[in-house]
Amino acid sequence: MEMQQEANQQQGSEVSPNQTIYINNLNEKVKLDVLKKSLNDVFSHFGKILEVKAFKTLKHKGQAWVVFEEAESASTAIAKMNDFPFYDKRMRIQYAKTKSDVVAKADGTFVPREKRKRHEEKGGKKKKDQHHDSTQMGMANSAYPSVYGTAPPLSQVPYPAGVKPILPEAPAPPNNILFVQNLPHETTPMMIQMFFSQYQGFKEIRMVEAKPGIAFVEYADEMQSTVAMQGLQGFKIEQDPMLITYAKK
């Protein structure tokens, strides 16, 4: 008969809706400023953001708080973005458990908290148990809810309308094609061919008229592309140093 109440307790935890969302399962390899900026970019689709907070302490990495001006924005954000692939991991989003300081300050209810448990700042250099270095980027998470059935590859997950996918800026793995950026817009293939063709294995330059300033340079194999990259990295065509990375496949 009544089977409509499950929508309310999607997290299995009882936290009342409020204007701050708590996000975890974030990719811990992403630098903090980049992470916060990307979170801001993504979540500003749902309303005005007052603040984005994230920390890199052991207890808090992989997590972030996004404070909206309106609680409704937070609700929409959760509904639309929970399990959203973000830097190759699915964001898990809930309402934050406690009121954010910015909000309390606006409320007038802010009371400076007592010194909490002394934050373990990184004073010593003990790093015994942090060797989880296994790169698990791109592994589908098997434990996420029903909507997609069995987890599809992240690359196939549909994105909510109006939200651009955030592609990991993680460097592409070494391969035989180089991606060259920061070229003067007048650059022609011939101009840079002079440089790239002096390296063994050079095959071709590809440029797209619609996208000035970039080029793809193909070599026979990744050894050769790597040598060329190392030789030409930062080389200045006019005055701007070119930025060379491996192309995404």
Site for DNA, rule CB under 7 A: 13, 15, 20, 22, 24-26, 28, 53, 55-63, 65, 67, 94-102, 116, 119
Question: Going by C-beta distance under 8 Å and a sequence separation of 6 or more, which residues neighbour residue 249?
Answer: 172, 175, 177
Q: CB of residue 130 vs DNA: minimum separation in angstroms?
A: 9
Alpha-carbon distance values, 153 to 114, 163, 206 (Å): 46, 19, 29
Q: CB of residue 132 vs DNA: minimum separation in angstroms?
A: 7
Q: CB of residue 93 vs DNA: minimum separation in angstroms?
A: 9
Alpha-carbon distance values, 121 to 64, 117, 124 (Å): 19, 11, 8
**How many other C-beta atoms lie within 10 A of the C-beta of residue 119?**
11
Q: Which is nearer to DNA, 20 or 187 (CB)?
A: 20
Q: CB of residue 79 vs DNA: minimum separation in angstroms?
A: 16
Q: Which is nearer to DNA, 102 or 214 (CB)?
A: 102
Q: Which is nearer to DNA, 142 or 156 (CB)?
A: 142
Q: CB of residue 217 vs DNA: minimum separation in angstroms?
A: 38
Q: Burial letters for 174-184: b for 16+ Cβ neighbours within 10 Å, e otherwise?
A: ebbbbbbeebe
Q: CB of residue 25 vs DNA: minimum separation in angstroms?
A: 5
Q: Which is nearer to DNA, 62 or 168 (CB)?
A: 62
Q: CB of residue 181 vs DNA: minimum separation in angstroms?
A: 31
Cα angle for residues 208, 212, 217 (degrees, 5° grid)? 55
Alpha-helical (H) ranges within 44-113 are 71-81, 101-107
C-alpha dihedral (64, 25, 174, 227), degrees to nearest 10 = 30
Q: Which is nearer to DNA, 96 or 228 (CB)?
A: 96
Q: Which is nearer to DNA, 68 or 196 (CB)?
A: 68
Question: Going by C-beta distance under 8 Å and a sequence separation of 6 or more, which residues neighbour residue 99?
Answer: 18, 20, 107, 109
- What single letter denotes the amino acid at residue 92? R
Q: Which is nearer to DNA, 133 or 209 (CB)?
A: 133
